[in-house]
Structure 1
Amino acid sequence: MTDQGTDTPRLSTREAAERLGVKPETVYAYVSRGQLTSRRNPGGRGSTFDAAEVEALARRNRRETRAGDDDGPIGTSITLIENDRHYYRGVDSTKLAERYGYEEVAQWLWTGELRPGVRFTAHTETLAAARRAVAALPAHSGLLDRLRVAAIAAAAADPLRFELERSAVVATAHDLIATLTDVLPVVGEPEPSDAPVARRMWTRLTTRAPEESWLRVLDSALVLLIDHDLAVSTVAARVAASAQAHPYAVVSAGLGALDGPLHGGASGFAHRMLMDAVERGGAAVVASHLRAGRRVPGLGHKLYPGEDPRAQALFTLLEDVPQAAEALRAAREIVATMARHVPLHANVDLALAVLTVAADMPQEAGETVFAVARTAGWIAHALEEYGEQPLRMRPVGQYRGPRPPQPPPLVPLP
């Protein structure tokens, strides 16, 4: 087809998909990533695409596919970390956090469309199943234990979980994030189920009143933690998605990788250190860590030679919260003490610790915020991976065992 009054060829969605060798829903995924532009038909039904632009993308995909045969880097259009800045689809994440809430940014990452005021609510059956499963956990179970069990129970309650069409995955993401939030025990004044995620999370992490200055910090933290390139949990999520695993399984894979001291658990160590620093002073705590041969948590990040922009943004917001002054002062003393010998800057774990300590949240609160926030990122990566060649993430092991032939093992004599 051609545009009326011009000779510019336009393709229907089906034609564009055929030329690209993908499903029609993947064509719209390219649009949401900014790799294709679409135009509504004059009649209002369907979209059309510039044939030259489609062909250019097809050529680029063929080149990237050939390059991918050599186990090169995983291509992604979600997050860029460059020159000590952090971008989502080319937009500075700190600017997004200033203007939009967690749900709005997540929805935009998944669909390419900004929906002001969008809210995530849990399906009644999904939430009920998750709550029953969580209620069966031992009393000493932590918040992350609840999230892992809730994700599995929610999957079992959803007969449509294997539908991987984009709109279905986005609907599942709404339900799952709301379920993970609402399955946590309420310790403050409960909020309605259609309140923003940040407000509902607040009442599950602290008994403090949800003042707007506090909620702004928490909502910004959720936005800034949505994605951070190919962190280990995101790689785990993408591997699951590469096998066409449903979104609940993708998130479960991410939660499994997150549950370690070097990833999600890092914020808990920073929280405990900062609690000590508020009582004894930052310099004393740094000295104690170094004397014991322990690394000082909350400092430095391999992807940021300079300052972590996420931490900078949260510290700026925390300056407007009077109740955070003491924890913020202790955190800055820790940074200043270390800077006398080692040029390490605060990372987002230390900024999260200031929030959780100042707001009287438990030690695992930072990891919980991290997990719920990153769920949106894992879904974004799953949507990207569903449009790739399935099972492309299949590395070949480098065998280091004894060379064959070897004799079979012998049964030991009695």
Structure 2
Amino acid sequence: MRDQEPATDAAERRLSTKETAELLGVKPETVYAYVSRGQLSSRREPGGRGSTFDPQEVEALARRNRREANGTSSSGGELSVRTRITLIDKDRYYFRGVDATELAARHTYEEVAEWLWTGHLRPGVTFSAPHASVAVARRAVDALPEHTGSTDRLRAAATAAAAADPLRFDLSEEAVLGTARMLIPTLVTALPPVLPGHRDRGPLAHRLWARLSGRPADEASLRALDTALALLVDHDLAASTLAVRIAASARAHAYAAVSAGLGVIEGPLHGAASGLAHRLLLEVLDRGAAGPVIADELREGRRIPGLGHRLYRGEDPRARALFTLLEGIPHAAPALAAARDIVTTTARHAALHANVDLALAVLSTSCGMPSTAGETIFAVARTAGWIAHALEEYGERPLRMRPSGHYVGPRPPQPLPQALPG
């Protein structure tokens, strides 16, 4: 049996696609679907003709699949956290029991955030920040190197705003909500504007637009941006949200909890994934067809960004809602056509659907935004969800987010290590 093979053999020898498919009990096409979803990583060996896979990673996925088949795991993870915030079920997702896409279609980002935090709608609510908070955050952001990314700027702004708030350690619901309503507009306003002559007023989406695009915004584009923010407010226990809950479990204040989320969101399999989809979309637009671009990606053993999601069998409902809005924007038509070409071309070898990263890429490319725009939108939007999870965690037993390690190192007692020769 494979379990009894020496660890050194498993580490040295990688698996072929056929061996991986046999171990997982799936077709070879499904193996590449796992790669596209980020559930497996592949590598092409020098001189090799196909992709190879890490045996330990494959066996971990096989164990996870068996647990899911036996009903012993939720969404592929071993940690389960009770929450009243978001439910993902049958290719739909809900905020406090209400269809999230319908909420986003009818309400602004700020209104959806209030619903997530309190269970009450506040029609017409807008978030504003005191001048002192914005000023200190801007100074911190302006001091960063010119090449600094948007998430770095948001992290610096959050840290500066925290340092300027002597009451940040008050974890009462009222205090945390006050922090949230101030922190989110502070993060946005601290980012350097690229639209000349813009005045920071009105809904948050208007202020964010001026930080993402140098083009004047039309109502349809602003509506698409605001809806994207509302759709992305929360998505259950994503990696960044789990980091926030761990920080809140240790009773870190709201600014620190948000900073924990921002630290995780930069990963290419999380918030930064939309940037990869943006660049892919630009290349398809430049070359005129998705076929040669997808072929290059597959030849290099890379996953196709913007496709597939481990929580949805069909199309990501966030992508579907955003695509519907973008169809009403004439200048988005070329990018939408390119996105459909990507999906159709990739479907020839793997049944993958568009996810929200591809929809964000259509929004950013068609509105003259940089490749990092999707990551910025994601981070700003998700801050509201992180606050909701932090509030929920503050009501739980402290330090409960403490899993036990499964030690697999050398068994003690071991001799004291010897110093390496000088």
TM-score class normalised by the smaller sequence: 0.7 to 0.9
> Equivalents in 2 of 1:117, 1:192: separation in Å?
19
Change in Cα spacing, 1:340 to 1:411, as seen in structure 2 (3 Å) is: closer
Question: Which is further off, 354-363 or 390-399?
Answer: 390-399
Matched, 1:336 2:341: no
Hey, what does 1:114 align to over in structure 2? 121
**1:292, distance to aligned residue in structure 2 (A):** 1.9
Which of 392, 396, 400 is matched with 2:408 structurally? 400
> 1:8-407 alignment to 2 at 5 Å?
73-280=80-287, 281-407=289-415
CA contact (8 A) 2:278 2:361 kept: yes
Aligned-pair CA distance for 1:72: 5.6
TM-score by structure 2 length? 0.80
Cα distance between partner residues in 2 of 1:201 and 1:195:
11
SS of 2:93's equivalent in the other structure is strand
Partner Cα distance (2:144, 2:421) in 1: 45
- Matched letter for residue 304 of structure 2: V
Tell me the CA shift for residue 129 of structure 1: 1.3
Q: CA deviation at 1:411?
A: 3.5
Q: Runs of 4 or more off by more than 6 Å in structure 1?
A: none
Match of residue 43 from structure 2: none
SS of alignment partner, residue 187 of structure 1 = coil
Give 1:190 shift. 4.6
Query: 2:94 is aligned with what amino acid?
Result: Y
Which amino acid in the other structure matches residue 254 of structure 1?
G
Indicate the RMSD between aligned Cα atoms, in angstroms: 1.3
CA contact (8 A) 1:155 1:248 kept: yes
Q: C-alpha distance in 2, partners of 1:412/1:275?
A: 51
Q: What is the DSSP-based 3-state SS (H/G/I as helix, E as strand, rest coil) of the residue aligned with 1:195?
A: coil
Mapped to 1, the partners of 2:421 and 2:280 lie a distance apart of 55
Write the deviation string for residues 101-146 of structure 1: whole angstroms up to 9, x where unpaired.
0001101111122111111111222111111111111111111110
Letter aligned with residue 415 of structure 2? P
Which residue does the alignment assign to 1:13?
Answer: none
Distance change >3 Å, CA 282–CA 72, structure 1 → 2: closer
Per-residue CA distance 1:208-231 (angstroms, 9 max, x = gap): 111100011000000010111100
Q: Is the 8 A contact 2:364 2:373 kept in 1?
A: yes
Q: Following the alignment from structure 2 to structure 1, what is the Cα–Cα distance between the partners of residues 258 and 266?
A: 12
Give the distance between the partners of 1:84 and 1:411, measured in 2 at CA. Answer: 56
Task: Tell me the TM-score normalized by structure 1.
Answer: 0.81
SS of equivalent residue, structure 2 residue 183: helix
Structure 2, unaligned runs of 5 or more: 1-77
Q: What is the CA distance between 1:305 and its match in structure 2?
A: 0.4
Alpha-carbon contact 2:96-2:119 (below 8 Å) kept: no
Structure 1 gaps, min length 5: 1-70
Which residue of 2 is the match for residue 39 of structure 1?
Answer: none
* Equivalent position SS for 1:86: strand
Question: Matches of 1:193 and 1:388 in 2, distance apart?
Answer: 38
Partner amino acid, structure 2, of 1:316 = T
Instruction: Give 1:409 deviation, angstroms.
Output: 2.5
What SS does the corresponding residue of 2:331 show, helix, strand or coil?
A: helix
**Aligned partner letter, 1:305:** R
C-alpha distance in structure 2 between counterparts of 1:401 and 1:297, whole Å: 36
Matched residue, 1:3: none
Instruction: Give the total of aligned pairs.
Output: 344
Distance 1:174 1:218 in 2: 19
Quick one: structure 1 residues 211 and 83, their matched pair in 2 at CA, closer, same or farther if it must change by over 3 Å?
A: same
Report what 1:34 is aligned to: none
* Rounded Cα–Cα distance in structure 2 between residues aligned with 1:394 and 1:343: 37
Instruction: Measure how far apart 1:189 and its partner are.
Output: 3.9
Superposed displacement of residue 193, structure 1: 3.4
CA separation of 1:283 and 1:377: change in aligned 2, threshold 3 A: same
How far apart are 1:413 and its partner, in Å?
5.4
CA contact (8 A) 1:121 1:193 kept: no
Show CA shifts across 1:180-220 (max 9, x none): 10011111145443311101011110011111000110000
String of CA shifts for 1:238-294, please: whole Å, max 9, x gaps: 000001110000000000011111111100000000001111122221122112221
Q: In the TM superposition, what whole-angstrom CA distance separates every residue of 1:298-333 from its partner, at most 9, and x where no partner exists?
A: 001010001111000000000000000000000001
Is the CA contact (8 Å cut-off) linking 1:190 and 1:203 kept in structure 2? Answer: no
CA deviation after TM superposition for structure 1 residue 412, in Å: 4.5
Pick closer, same or farther for the CA change 1:181–1:190 going to 2, 3 Å. Answer: farther
CA deviations on 1:71-123 (whole Å, 9 max, x unpaired) are 86101111111111011111111101111000011011111221111111112
Check whether the contact 1:155–1:161 (CA below 8 A) recurs between aligned residues.
Answer: yes
Equivalent position amino acid for 2:220 in 1? S
Greater Rg by CA: 1
